[in-house]
Amino acid sequence: MIVADREAGGVDGHVGWTASSYKAGPVCGFRNDGCIPSADDHPTMEWTNDWMLHVRMVVAVGSLAVVAAALAGVLFVAFSWLAALAARNGYLPGGLTGVAGAGATIVLVVAIVVIEGRYGDSLVLRSVDAREPSPEEFPDLHRLVNRVARQADLPVPTVLVAETTAPRAFTTGCTRNGATLVVSTGLLDVLDGDELSAVVAHELAHVKNRDVAVMMAMSLPLVVAQTLMDWASSGWEDPNHESSSVGGIVGAVIFAVAGLFWVVGRVMFRLLSRYRELAADRGAVAITGSPAALASALSTLDEAATEIPTTDARTSASIAAFSIVPPEPVEAESREPLMLGPEGDRAPYLYRETQPLREIAARILRTHPDTDDRIARLQSLQRSL
């Protein structure tokens, strides 16, 4: 792992970034009032649109439409079969099975879109139990966010703080005026002032690039596919469930088709997610003028990810694609498995034989580019300044 050069020098146990070519501002602790870096410590923003990111987002939206249409077809088949079953038992006129299937499909799809569009942010924020603190409670944090938002030429986002030791930072919201920035107390504890400025700039770069709304829209097929798989498999997991052989076959087909869509949607989701992180890294540098500060922050957060408690790690996994770094470093993919057997010395069946395949799948589905690669890119950019 690439680790940035650091030295003690922060306030309240924080550490400071040292780089000969970086004009560092004052190092501050953000759990209590104190100093913050001055706006004069950073150059004026020179923002350029990332057209490759825009192209990827357009392709992602087009692919999303294809996947959504195919999923709607699967839903229509499933609901039509249920309507035919109801008609066979006298609960529905036989001539209305197609109409009932189409109507149920439209109602479900519209409901999911409305819920995601109106309450998607709330559902994500509820999963991390974030709250909006007063400016008096976190004065340095509010002043820093206001300053970085001005540098980025963006409206000041709503700032929420999550009380957890897991170092988190992510942004939600479908518009620039409706953006919400979430940081955790764990993140505020491990970053110094310049690092925190870089992290906030990275998150606001997502807002400026308008990629948050696309990511939230792309999560829709995953939600629908997961719901279908849960429904189709519910009968298999219930030993008291009685179903016809036809029903079992239909359930298996729906599960297989929904699973295929889930994999396709997840691959599309991850590919855009990885590129948008690199684009936001470049955007953060444009806003702050300091590749070194962001490299230092990524190194700190990557190290801290290995110390997240199990309960916090589960919650972090639910927002992995929106976080600045993944919940766990890439090295976690090659950890030893939980051993089985009376003596605890037997690996799961075919575990080692399938390990190369699982590692390939894990890398394809990863939400973020390798953190070491991101740090190396930033260090190279710092040397070129």
pLDDT of residue 35: 43
pLDDT of residue 356: 73
Q: What is the DSSP string of 114-127?
A: HHHHHHHHHHHHHH
| Residue 274 lies inside a defined structural domain of this protein | yes
Residue 265 identity: G
Assign 39 to helix, strand or coil.
Answer: helix
pLDDT of residue 20: 29
β-pairing, 158-162 with 180-184?
parallel
pLDDT of residue 298: 94
In this prediction the pTM is: 0.72
Q: Find the helix or strand (DSSP H, E) in which 284 lies.
A: helix 245-288
Question: With contact defined as beta carbons under 8 Å apart, do 68 and 221 qualify?
Answer: yes
The label of the residue with tokens 């009376």 reads 342
pLDDT of residue 342: 53
pLDDT of residue 337: 52
Q: What is the DSSP string of 96-157?
A: GHHHHHHHHHHHHHHHHHHHHHHHHHHHHHHHHTEE---TTTSHHHHHHHHHHHHHTT-PPP
pLDDT of residue 25: 37
Listed as ranges, residues in the chain with pLDDT below 50 are 1-43, 313-314, 329-334
| Residue 169 lies inside a defined structural domain of this protein | yes
Which one from 116, 195, 203, 277 is the annotated catalytic residue?
203
| Residue 358 lies inside a defined structural domain of this protein | no
| Residue 357 lies inside a defined structural domain of this protein | no
Nearest-angstrom CA–CA distance, 288 and 204: 11
pLDDT of residue 216: 78
Residue 79 contacts by C-beta under 8 Å, 6 or more apart in sequence? 100, 101, 102, 104, 105, 108
| Residue 51 lies inside a defined structural domain of this protein | yes
| Residue 74 lies inside a defined structural domain of this protein | yes
pLDDT of residue 259: 81
Give the count of alpha carbons within 13 A of 334, CB side only: 5
Question: With contact defined as beta carbons under 8 Å apart, do 14 and 27 qualify?
Answer: yes
Structural domains counted in the chain: 1
Question: Does 163 qualify as catalytic in the annotation?
Answer: no
Residue 138 identity: F
pLDDT (tens digit per residue) in 215-272: 877 777 677 777 777 777 765 555 555 555 555 666 777 778 778 877 877 777 777 8
| Residue 331 lies inside a defined structural domain of this protein | no
Question: With contact defined as beta carbons under 8 Å apart, do 83 and 92 qualify?
Answer: yes
Q: Find the helix or strand (DSSP H, E) in which 15 lies.
A: strand 15-17
| Residue 333 lies inside a defined structural domain of this protein | no
Assign 224 to helix, strand or coil.
Answer: helix
pLDDT of residue 324: 85
Which pair of structure tokens corresponds to residue 281? 């890294």
Q: Give the domain range for residue 53.
A: 6-326+366-384
